[in-house]
């Protein structure tokens, strides 16, 4: 019998991951694997776009205030500093909690840019989506809004676009008049959107003596919501120590009622009597910050009372994002 000739496979082209183009999900993957793109390199691309980033603002100056403005504060603005400076024709870039008509961003007639923070995002990485929106706003024609889209998987994040040394100093507003520098010439749609937004806005004040703490007024009672940077388990232990010792309040009639979890950070919440204004809580908040620092430094195991207090706080925790 004649010997069978050995079977040889044609060599596939060697393509690095960085060279693989995006093709249709059902088309053969350009890497030469023989599989469809969606089951090969397309899987990693889709995962990069949809994977939830737990702390999207980590590493940015003012991470706690980013979280507060994203989830808690109705009307606020922050002047942003770009890593590479402002492009020609762009006098300023301003982050805003909300923009008229829920626009993701707006290039004003004078060339300045407003970037909206509280919009829905298409991927699991808010930072990447915002950076993509910002870059498109910088290139948009003056006088036009920027629509939302899913950011490219390999696109930059805010951490790569903003100056890491730039200050992040929120200015809280009583309403949304910052939308329209020339209110008399605003379109009817923008005017109607402004009226609706102002009617829904909860009065909010940023405390000046501690970081990322916001007083707000509601019809029945007032609240203090304080975004904290500490690791969750350590912070809950510290709050439990203070709660069990009767030292977690901010004065007579106030009560630590629980916390939010938002973008990887914990936001303790206090109920305040309706007569307690923002200025009344400045000193008690600063004193609480000192007590919390001592509790955070404690290393001994929680006592039985402290464990019960921790369980109560955990049971009253709500995840916002």
CA atoms within 13 A on the CB side of 156: 13
Strand, helix or coil for residue 212: coil
Report field, pTM of the whole predicted structure over 0.85: no
pLDDT value of position 265 = 98
Phi-psi region of 111 (alpha: psi -120 to 50; beta: other; left: phi over 0): left
Q: Which residue has the higher pLDDT, 77 or 39?
A: 77
| Helix spans in 126-186 (H) | 126-139, 158-161
Task: Assess contact for 75 and 97: CB atoms under 8 A.
Answer: yes
Q: How far is CA 319 from CA 15, 154, 206, in A?
A: 43, 28, 22
Band (1; pLDDT cuts 50, 70, 90): very low
3-state helix, strand, coil in the chain (%, to 5): 35, 20, 50
CA atoms within 13 A on the CB side of 57: 20
Band (5; pLDDT cuts 50, 70, 90): very low
Band (21; pLDDT cuts 50, 70, 90): low
Report whether pLDDT(219) > 90: no
Residue-wise pLDDT for 153-208, tens only, equals 889 999 999 999 999 999 999 999 998 877 677 788 888 888 998 998 999 999 99
pLDDT value of position 8 = 40
Q: Tell me the average pLDDT across 138-154.
A: 92
Q: How far is CA 175 from CA 24, 65, 178, 229, 299, in A?
A: 46, 19, 8, 28, 45
> Where is average pLDDT lowest: 3-12, 162-171, 311-320?
3-12
Question: Does the CA dihedral 234-127-112-85 come out positive or negative?
Answer: positive
């Amino acid at each position: 019998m004649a010997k069978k000739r050995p079977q040889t496979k044609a060599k596939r082209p060697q393509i690095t991951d960085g060279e693989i183009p995006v093709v249709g999900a059902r088309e053969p993957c350009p890497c030469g694997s023989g599989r469809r793109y969606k089951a090969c390199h397309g899987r990693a691309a889709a995962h990069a776009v949809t994977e939830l980033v737990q702390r999207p603002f980590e590493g940015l100056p003012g991470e706690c205030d980013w979280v507060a403005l994203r989830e808690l504060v109705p009307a606020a603005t922050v002047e942003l500093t770009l890593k590479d400076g402002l492009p020609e024709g762009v006098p300023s870039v301003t982050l805003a909690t909300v923009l008229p008509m829920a626009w993701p961003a707006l290039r004003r007639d004078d060339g300045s840019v407003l970037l909206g923070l509280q919009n829905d995002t298409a991927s699991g990485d808010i930072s990447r989506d915002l950076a993509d929106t910002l870059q498109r706003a910088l290139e948009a024609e003056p006088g036009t809004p920027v629509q939302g889209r899913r950011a490219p998987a390999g696109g930059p994040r805010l951490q790569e676009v903003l100056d890491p040394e730039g200050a992040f100093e929120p200015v809280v507003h009583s309403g949304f008049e910052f939308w329209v520098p020339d209110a008399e010439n605003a379109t009817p749609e923008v005017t109607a959107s402004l009226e609706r937004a102002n009617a829904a806005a909860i009065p909010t004040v940023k405390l000046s003596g501690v970081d990322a703490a916001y007083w707000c007024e509601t019809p029945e009672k007032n609240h203090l919501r304080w975004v904290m940077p500490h690791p969750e388990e350590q912070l809950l232990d510290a709050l439990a120590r203070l709660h069990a010792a009767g030292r977690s309040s901010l004065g007579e009639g106030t009560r630590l009622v629980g916390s939010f979890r938002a973008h990887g950070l914990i936001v303790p919440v206090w109920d305040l009597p309706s007569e307690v204004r923002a200025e009344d809580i400045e000193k008690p908040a600063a004193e609480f910050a000192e007590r919390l620092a001592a509790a955070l430094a404690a290393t001994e195991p929680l006592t039985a009372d402290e464990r019960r207090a921790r369980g109560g706080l955990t049971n009253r925790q709500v995840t916002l994002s």
